[in-house]
Structure 1
Amino acid sequence: MNEVQITESLKGLPGWTFEDNKLQKKYKFNDFPEAMAFLVRLSYEAENRNHHPEIFNCYNRVELALNTHDAGGKVTELDFDLARAAENIF
């Protein structure tokens, strides 16, 4: 996807940004178990797509970064699909 396509697609994903060739978002939860429940549910979505995000978790915070390694580290529709899945879980 080119930058125009990415920018247009981001309009449907509040809070997501495009930086360093990655889609990125920071989530905040009430506590650690809530953050972990989100990550467990997301892990099934990622595994079903054979598409695995970069994840950072510290207590009630989760940060996701998405790009497609098979596409040379570029953002593809697969990244947007997983971002939409994360939003549905959240």
Structure 2
Amino acid sequence: KYEISNHGVTVAGQFYGWYALKYFFFTRKDGVTTLCADTKEALPGRLYLTLNGNNSDEMKPVLEQYLAYLETEPKTFIDKAYDSITGKFAI
């Protein structure tokens, strides 16, 4: 369960103020849209909020009042290292 307010996001009873979050983006897999928000602290690192229906278009302008929006999911150090290693081998 989660709640989004003008103060921040509450996920499973844990509150994250807008000041504690860096940016947000949306992912879509198997017809399910997920709102992702990265935290400034290492833990938890990223919040995942499953959206009911496809209301990401409605949520985006509201969230942009508080956080920067990214068009694509940012790659982590591990993602970049994996891409670098696998790019050197023909699979």
Greater RCO (Cα-Cα under 8 Å, separation 6 or more): 1
Q: TM-score scaled to structure 2, two decimals?
A: 0.27
Larger helix share, 1 or 2? 1
